[in-house]
Chains A and B, each alone.
Chain A
């Protein structure tokens, strides 16, 4: 189901990128390459680039321009304090979501009869 996983990734990709940058400084191409190695083959390099621009604008990363032999200078991104906070938020939301979905799967979700009992 490549389509479904792509949809799911859309909402989590920013958090994934922040998590990668929490481990080490990186530039866009490295991040995409790593994601592809991990099996996220559907991710467009351009989308990762756009997300990096976004987290840069929101002040979640520090950016250093490093000259490269070929092409324009590379921007190397490092997660700063605000970025770490944002990442903590992401993991909290992720845990909440994962927990609730797991409840749904294991059948702990409220059944039709219990919700009906609540009435108005």
Chain B
């Protein structure tokens, strides 16, 4: 699955090389960390910037950095990803442009509501983004 996405999205050879480098780094992680990293990878490959090769490669590189650093610091897998791994994965993924169908659906919902509010002729125009901070 992941491999198909990569071949579809990642056109050029430099990105392919970087992807192979990433896979090698992931594979070299010690037991426990390796499985955890693979689980995070699976999640971000499904829901992350699957339509943007450069963004995807940058994300995977940062993920490998994080896990290698945790191994070097002796941070446990639990302390690394936390009690709620989804929360971690989502915060991490939000840093990369592009997205899966799910990101597009979120943007679409916000745009549709903006339009509906406009048609209703009332209300202040929303920014479409969540938090104001």
Contacts and interface: CB of A to CB of B under 8 A. Distances in A.
Contacts of B95: 50, 53-54, 57
Contacts of A49: 66, 69, 92
Contacts, number: 72
Interface in B73-90: 73, 75, 79-84, 87-88
Interface residues of B, number: 24
Contact of B91 (A15, A50, A90, A93): A50
B71 interface: yes
A15 B70 CA distance: 23
Interface of B: 62, 65-66, 68-73, 75, 79-84, 87-88, 91-92, 94-95, 131, 133
B133 A44 contact: no
Interface of A is mostly: helix
B82 A46 contact: yes
A68 B82 CA distance: 25
A54 B84 CA distance: 20
A71 interface: yes
Contacts of B131: 11
* Across the A-B interface, the 3 shortest Cβ-Cβ residue pairs: A44-B82, A71-B72, A50-B92
Contacts of A45: 70, 75, 79-80, 82
